Amino acid sequence: MTSWWQSGTIYQVYPRSFQDSDGDGIGDLKGIEARLDHLVALGVDAVWISPIFPSPMADFGYDVADYTGIDPRFGTIADFDDLLAAAHARGLKLLLDFVPNHSSSEHPWFQASRSARTDPKRDWYIWRDPAPGGGPPNNWQSFFGGSAWEYDKASGQYYLHLFLKEQPDLNWRNPAVQAAMLDAMRFWFDRGVDGFRIDVLWLAIKHADFPDNPSNPDWREGMQDIDRLLPTHSADQPEITGVVTAMRTLADQYDERVLIGEIYLPFDRLVTYYGPDGGGVHLPFNFELLQTPWTAQAIARLITDYEAALPPGAWPNWVLGNHDKPRIAARVGQAQARVAAVLLLTLRGTPTLYAGDEIGMTGEPIPTDRIRDPQALREPGIAFNRDEVRMPMPWNDSPNAGFTTGEPWLPLGSDWRTRNVAAQAADPASLLALHRDLLHLRRKHAALATGDIALIAVEGDVLAYERTADDERLVIALNLGTTDQHVTLPEGELLLTTLNEPVPEADRGGEITLAPDEAIILRVSR
């Protein structure tokens, strides 16, 4: 039996930037609810919302102060219940972003933990004595630059924070921590949430003895601090399997819930998070398209390697953009963004679409005095400024792009008057229209939603593959280059082209020419 998360498409909403309902310049839950019909018209199946829990916002919600509440900036628990009901009424699933590796330093758990060495919650976080000669306990680095250890003068010990010092790491080796975090997940499952995207899952367990990490021989000046060392002992430890299994056991107590793990690891390690006998997370995020060179050969090799690495019965997934990485349209340009949409929505597996990519948002440099991203502020000129991909969603050409009646928390993109949802919804040749067409085809054709995949050998800048299910066979061909490409494909009915040409009455196939930046989908006989 196929689960909804296998055949469906997930849409990520960064709530601060999606839709503001009260004029404070920050998106909120009522704003998301007001825009659900956009998601229905687009054709996605689930919406994943980045953190909305109470937070001091040192890292904009990824520093959680209460795992079972709603931050007042986003609304109330009643607003959340309304959003959940409205989503379900439209046939949409709703996923929350769960942050288990660390809490906020203002979480009551950490306030108790740092109050005294003898406090019962002291061991809920990771405290260590200084090194024998003084200084941090080891050489581990923060993802946001500098040491991952912060000295607490009152107790004479250091606590671990793999991100900001305002984000102390929880001690997942403590059974009480595991129980409390599972209780928080249960709270939301009981409320009707359809699943979780689990933040930095591969970091949740550290080596019990805290040895130094080895140096990275490939580090060069200009790279981030975190890359100075190999995370041999601070990430991806064997005991993480127990954490993942506990989360999956909880999820399996409910019907059709899904767990998605944020895991930046090579394929051989990534696939272990499916767990023994499929008892891990349902979808360990596959981020390779975010960093693979945009060539037919590189992507074909990526598909082959990923499919070969998947354990029996494991379901693949693909991601082209998120709230931490440069947007696809910025990486490959607007013309190739159309080809990228075809790729994402026709590969075997569950696609995740980041809000704004459906209209070709690119992100752009943020004025220095408007930068909010703590990572960019700590490592200016080195770390990617994540603000660029968190700019407010442009809905129309009214003031502030219909996002807010106040001052947006981040600047709007410079092209918002023409690149917005309303303008593209009225244009059958737009990128938004292409996404709608592709998602309609995914719903209509089982071969695209859940079928098998096989690469087709072609030359040049073309990537080609077929998707099959029962008696249905579809062929997808993508020109990732800027020149005409001559290829031989099976003859069939042209279902879609990115060139916005009318679908001809005659079949297309055989010896054909793919124009620059063209992708096509053919239905051929088996």
106: annotated active-site residue = no
Please tell me the distance from the alpha carbon of residue 43 to that of residue 11, in angstroms, as a whole number: 10
pLDDT digits (tens, 9 = 90+) for 230-244: 999 999 999 999 999
The answer to the question of residue 467 being in a domain is yes
Average pLDDT, the chain: 96
In total, how many domains does the chain have?
Answer: 3
Of 437, 466, 491, which marks where a domain is finished?
437
pLDDT digits (tens, 9 = 90+) for 269-318: 999 999 999 999 999 999 999 999 999 999 999 999 999 999 999 999 99
pLDDT for residue 506: 46
Average the pLDDT over 387-415 and give the result: 98
| Active-site residue identified among 45, 199, 288, 373 | 199
Average the pLDDT over 477-493 and give the result: 95
Same domain, 115 and 230: no
The model carries a pTM of 0.97
Same domain, 261 and 380: yes
Same domain, 362 and 502: no
Same domain, 120 and 258: no
Same domain, 427 and 507: no
Please tell me the distance from the alpha carbon of residue 493 to that of residue 472, in angstroms, as a whole number: 12
The candidate with the shortest Cα–Cα distance to 413, out of 376, 477, 475, 361, is 361
In sign, the C-alpha dihedral spanning 411, 416, 417, 422 is negative
Please tell me the distance from the alpha carbon of residue 284 to that of residue 449, in angstroms, as a whole number: 19
CATH (domain of 384)? 3.20.20.80
Same domain, 324 and 203: yes
The answer to the question of residue 443 being in a domain is no
CA distances in angstroms from 312 to 253, 274, 275, 392, 486, listed in the order given = 23, 10, 11, 41, 37
Split at pLDDT 50, 70, 90, the class of 510 is: confident
Average the pLDDT over 414-426 and give the result: 98
Same domain, 132 and 238: no
Please tell me the distance from the alpha carbon of residue 104 to that of residue 114, in angstroms, as a whole number: 13
The answer to the question of residue 287 being in a domain is yes
Please tell me the distance from the alpha carbon of residue 303 to that of residue 495, in angstroms, as a whole number: 23
| Active-site residue identified among 262, 357, 461, 517 | 262
Same domain, 114 and 99: no
pLDDT for residue 501: 64
**Residue 2, SS3?**
coil
- Structure tokens of 15? 């709530």
pLDDT at 44 exceeding the cut of 60? yes
CATH (domain of 459)? 2.60.40.1180
Residue range of the domain that includes 280: 4-104+172-437
The answer to the question of residue 313 being in a domain is yes
pLDDT digits (tens, 9 = 90+) for 360-391: 999 999 999 999 999 999 999 999 999 999 99
Average the pLDDT over 172-189 and give the result: 98
Same domain, 37 and 67: yes
Same domain, 226 and 339: yes
388: annotated active-site residue = no
Split at pLDDT 50, 70, 90, the class of 502 is: low
pLDDT for residue 450: 98
The answer to the question of residue 165 being in a domain is no
The candidate with the shortest Cα–Cα distance to 163, out of 194, 140, 186, is 140
pLDDT for residue 508: 66
Same domain, 419 and 506: no
The answer to the question of residue 447 being in a domain is no
